Amino acid sequence: MRSSFLPPWMPAGVSLVRHRSEAGPILLAPIDAHRVFVHASPATWSTCRASGTHHLRRSGDIDLVPAGEAGGYDAASACESLEIRLAPAVIERAALDLGRGSGRSALAMRHMLRSEPIVHLALALESERQAGAPGGDLYADTIGIALATQLVGLSRRVETPRGGLSAAQMRRLLDFIEAHLDRPLTLARLAREAGASSSHLRQGFKQATGMTVHRYVVRRRVERARLLLQGGTSAGEAALAAGFAHQSHMARWMRRELGITPRDLR
């Protein structure tokens, strides 16, 4: 892994690292800072080392690893990311400014988030690095507080009991989806499996994953179809096994998600 750094730990409590990682395992050992990773490459397939699930990381997808926690995934191809490190004191300061008390335990591990404000702030910090950090500590402090504000707001939405799903509910739901991809999946059926109302499921699922239930199911179906096609399964059989209504339905979503057709894969 090759990286480029701002000064390792600026007084403002925020720093940026640009990583280029080769294909293979990407391991994140625990450190005493919160880490925000912004994917900076075209679409990259990856496998979560904790759950074993496959994901297509796109430019702008965000992973959040709280201080003291480990993370990691297996990348199918070389990829780049912007890693922003925030000292816990920066989060605490933002939480206090927002009137939400201490932020020490406010953050939770998150994957595949989408947030335009966080991406814009990461790019601003990267531009500052490329320019030689002319803004100094004051500029970095401003960016750090803006990022911390976004993260505190995000963590509040995740932890809201009314709108959130528990970790157990999410595990049960994701396992059920994976086991029933080849069958019709309705919001009502998934809500029953999660033990939640349909509206609670819609809101809580998007808060936990950054995407709608429908989009998640489609992406998992596209991934299953891709693996089947690459293994020699016919297009018709792959479409049915992945839960698509027919070949053209599968081809349309495959073009949208991967930018390729079933014929390209075969």
Let me know if the fold of 2-159 is the same as that of 167-265.
no
Cβ neighbors of 17 (< 8 A, separation 6 or more) are 3, 4, 5, 6, 82, 83, 85
Residue 6 token pair: 């701002």
Written as tens digits, the pLDDT of the chain (266 aa) is 444 333 333 445 788 889 999 999 988 888 888 999 999 998 888 887 766 777 788 899 999 888 888 888 899 999 999 999 988 888 887 777 666 654 444 577 888 888 889 999 999 888 888 887 776 666 777 888 888 888 887 764 433 444 578 888 888 898 899 999 999 888 888 988 888 888 888 888 888 888 889 989 999 999 999 989 988 899 999 999 999 989 999 999 998 888 888 888 76
**Quick one: pLDDT at residue 248?**
92
Q: What is the DSSP string of 126-188?
A: HHHHHTT-TTHHHHHHHHHHHHHHHHHHHHHHHH-TTT---HHHHHHHHHHHHHTTTS---HH
pTM of the predicted structure, to 2 decimals: 0.56
Give me 10's structure tokens.
């600026």
Model pLDDT, residue 1: 45
Torsion of CA 120, 121, 122, 125, to 10 degrees: 120
Domain 2-159 has CATH 3.30.70.270: no
Under DSSP, the state recorded for 100 is -
Q: What is the pLDDT of residue 100?
A: 61
Close Cβ partners of 249 (under 8 Å, ≥ 6 residues apart): 239
- Look up the CATH architecture of domain 167-265: Orthogonal Bundle (1.10)
Confirm if 145 and 156 have CB atoms less than 8 A apart.
no
Distance CA 102, CA 145 (A): 15
Is the dihedral angle over the CA atoms 89, 90, 94, 95 positive or is it negative? negative
Where along the chain do its domains lie?
2-159, 167-265
